[in-house]
């Protein structure tokens, strides 16, 4: 009975998260995620039509007295990965994310994790065991994640922001280095006047 209730709530979250409209960018000032037709890879082009993500911030997973904010990465492409140590696909993609980070960080690319619904000690062990070198926000209650307006029931999710912190691509699944790196490189190569 409890399992059916949890599955029902998760289904409602997915439907509610994906059913807010038929365009991936809201009419307002900030990016609002919508998954048109249930797609798991979504690209927002041309850049002039991308929606800006709200500033988000939260406690640093590895440092109890530090806060990480999206504004810490001003002028950089930012790859945001929503993960949890409890998530099998997250364990599988951790090496690929670290590989793409290592290959692109010298091009002005930053990576930021958002650890969702996790025990802090388990999340810290995950980062150490998998040698993840980029920072993560500890977001047990989903407050930081809610600012992205992505479905919170889709973990892992990877969001690529351009240098103006506009949503350029979203992967609603585990990603491989071969899928992610060309996208990150393309977005990093954009200039302010890219149409």
Exposure string (b/e) for 133-155, b if CB count within 10 Å is 16 or more?
A: ebbbbbbbeeebbebbbbbbbbb
Cβ neighbour number for residue 166 with a 10 Å cutoff: 19
pLDDT at residue number 61? 98
The encoded tokens of residue 2 equal 């409890």
Q: Which of 66, 69, 98 is nearest to 81 (CA)?
A: 98
**Spatial distance between the Cα atoms of 106 and 121, rounded to a whole number of angstroms:** 31
Radius of gyration of the chain (CA): 16
**Spatial distance between the Cα atoms of 97 and 47, rounded to a whole number of angstroms:** 24
Answer yes or no: are the C-beta atoms of 130 and 13 closer than 8 Å: no
Q: Average pLDDT of each block of 10 consecutive residues along the chain (195 residues)? A: 32 32 42 71 91 93 96 97 96 97 98 96 97 97 84 83 95 96 98 70
**111: which DSSP letter?**
E
Answer yes or no: are the C-beta atoms of 58 and 143 closer than 8 Å: yes
Q: Which of 47, 12, 15 is nearest to 31 (CA)?
A: 47
pLDDT at residue number 34? 64
SS3 132: coil
pLDDT at residue number 192? 72
90-115 tens-digit pLDDT: 999 999 999 999 999 999 999 999 99
**Spatial distance between the Cα atoms of 100 and 179, rounded to a whole number of angstroms:** 10
Kindly give, in sequence order, each residue whose CB lies less than 8 Å from that of residue 122, ignoring residues fewer than 6 positions away: 85, 86
């Amino acid at each position: 009975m409890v399992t059916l209730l949890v599955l029902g709530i998760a289904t409602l979250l997915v439907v509610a998260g994906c059913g807010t409209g038929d365009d991936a960018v809201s009419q307002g000032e900030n990016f609002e995620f919508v998954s048109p037709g249930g797609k798991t890879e979504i690209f927002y082009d041309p850049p002039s039509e991308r929606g800006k993500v709200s500033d988000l911030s939260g406690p640093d997973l590895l440092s109890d007295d530090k806060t990480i904010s999206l504004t810490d990465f001003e002028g950089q492409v930012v790859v945001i990965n929503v993960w949890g140590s409890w998530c099998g696909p997250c364990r599988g993609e951790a090496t690929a994310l670290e590989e793409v980070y290592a290959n692109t960080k010298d091009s002005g690319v930053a990576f930021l994790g958002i650890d969702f619904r996790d025990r802090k000690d388990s999340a810290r062990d995950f980062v150490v065991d998998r040698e993840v070198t980029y920072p993560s926000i500890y977001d047990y209650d989903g407050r930081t994640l809610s600012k992205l307006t992505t479905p919170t029931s889709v973990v892992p999710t990877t969001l690529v922001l351009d240098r103006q912190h506009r949503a350029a691509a979203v992967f609603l699944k585990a990603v491989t280095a071969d899928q992610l790196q060309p996208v990150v490189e393309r977005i990093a190569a954009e200039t302010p006047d890219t149409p």
